[in-house]
Amino acid sequence: MNILLTGASGFIGSHVASALQAAGPSVKPASRGNDLDFNRLLTRRAWQPQLENFDAVINCVGIIVETRASSFAVLHRESPSALFHACVDAGISRVIQVSALGADERAFTPYQQSKKAADDVLRSLPLDWFVLRPSLVYGRGGASLSMFRRLAALPLLPLVDGGRQMIQPVQVDDLAQTVLACLTSPRVRITLDVVGAAPVSLRDWLQMMRRKAGKSSAPVVPVPFGVSVTVAGIARYLVPLLHPDNLRMLQQGNVADVGPLAAFLGRMPLDFETGWDRL
């Protein structure tokens, strides 16, 4: 099987690439580093020369914050939508889209809405498609994990509304294995939420990180949501992940039923203790 993997140089894409290489398929990693720029591939005709002799396409391109050179509209919606249409033209039937939990009918931020727009295009096409919607993904090399580790190391934890928001972090290896399973699954045209074994509050997740680092629990300082959003509007220029929209998505919650994923994989995804030990 010959596979085109877009976004191969990113956090998720690099882990998917490693899993594919270990499993045996022939993989062409595609990213800006090897002259494939999503900003320039905005039509199905532009994509067609890139799709010769492939059996499947995996799209892992994604950004969590916009920059002058990278927008949600282009990277999440316009270019992937053109890619999916070009796959129809090229006779590539199996297409796997790595989307995001929250890219559904409740989507309210440009990040979520742009992901959902491309997902909807893919689901409308005569392809053997998979839409994977991961929760917060943690693992080696992840920018969000690095930020949460720094936060967990503070002597006091200043958390929005005391960190009561529910999340369901998934270890990146579980996401990569889900992608691999999609390549051979007899079931197709599936939208699958990719989540960890059980929900956990942000507060408890950070305290577990402290315990894994050999630290005792830290006092939590609740910060009102409105104050947090105001501060984030300034702090995001220093730490881009602290964008107000990311706080709003966190406040919404980021959990889903793990049952369909467990059934698809034939096992439960990793719990936090096991997943953390594999970092």
What is the predicted pLDDT for the residue at 204? 97
pLDDT in tens, 9-66: 999 999 999 999 999 878 999 887 777 889 999 999 999 999 999 999 999 999 999 9
pLDDT in tens, 79-136: 999 999 999 999 999 999 999 999 999 999 999 999 999 999 999 999 999 999 999 9
Q: Report the C-alpha gap between 173 and 17 in whole angstroms.
A: 11
Q: Report the C-alpha gap between 165 and 111 in whole angstroms.
A: 19
Residue 236's nearest CA partner among 247, 220, 252 is 247
How wide is the angle at C-alpha 81 spanned by C-alphas 103 and 17, nearest 5°?
80
For residue 271, is pLDDT > 90?
yes
Residue 249's nearest CA partner among 60, 11, 64 is 64
What is the band of 187 on the pLDDT scale with cuts at 50, 70, 90?
A: very high
* Domain CATH number, residue 52: 3.40.50.720
**DSSP secondary structure code for residue 30 in this structure:** E
pLDDT (mean) for 205-211: 96
What is the predicted pLDDT for the residue at 73? 97
Q: Report the C-alpha gap between 135 and 167 in whole angstroms.
A: 8
Tally of domains in the chain: 1
pLDDT in tens, 140-183: 999 889 999 999 999 999 999 999 999 999 999 999 999 999 99
- Helix then strand then coil, in percent of the chain rounded to 5, is 50, 15, 35
What is the predicted pLDDT for the residue at 24? 84
For residue 238, is pLDDT > 90?
no
Q: Which residues pair with 201 in a beta bridge?
A: 166
Tell me the C-alpha to C-alpha distance, in Å, between residue 95 and each of 37, 119, 124, 155, 262. 19, 11, 12, 46, 21
What is the predicted pLDDT for the residue at 13? 96
> Judging by beta carbons within 10 Å of its beta carbon (0-12, 13-18, 19+), is residue 52 exposed, middle or buried?
exposed
Residue span of the structural domain in which 252 resides = 2-277
Residue 268's nearest CA partner among 181, 195, 205 is 195
What is the predicted pLDDT for the residue at 279? 86
What is the predicted pLDDT for the residue at 30? 87
Of residues 34 and 262, more confidence is placed in 262
**DSSP secondary structure code for residue 254 in this structure:** B
What is the predicted pLDDT for the residue at 59? 98
For residue 270, is pLDDT > 80?
yes
**Dihedral sign from CA coordinates of 267, 268, 270, 273:** negative
Phi, then psi, of 170 in degrees rounded to 5: -115, 135
Q: Report the C-alpha gap between 42 and 25 in whole angstroms.
A: 28
What is the predicted pLDDT for the residue at 126? 98
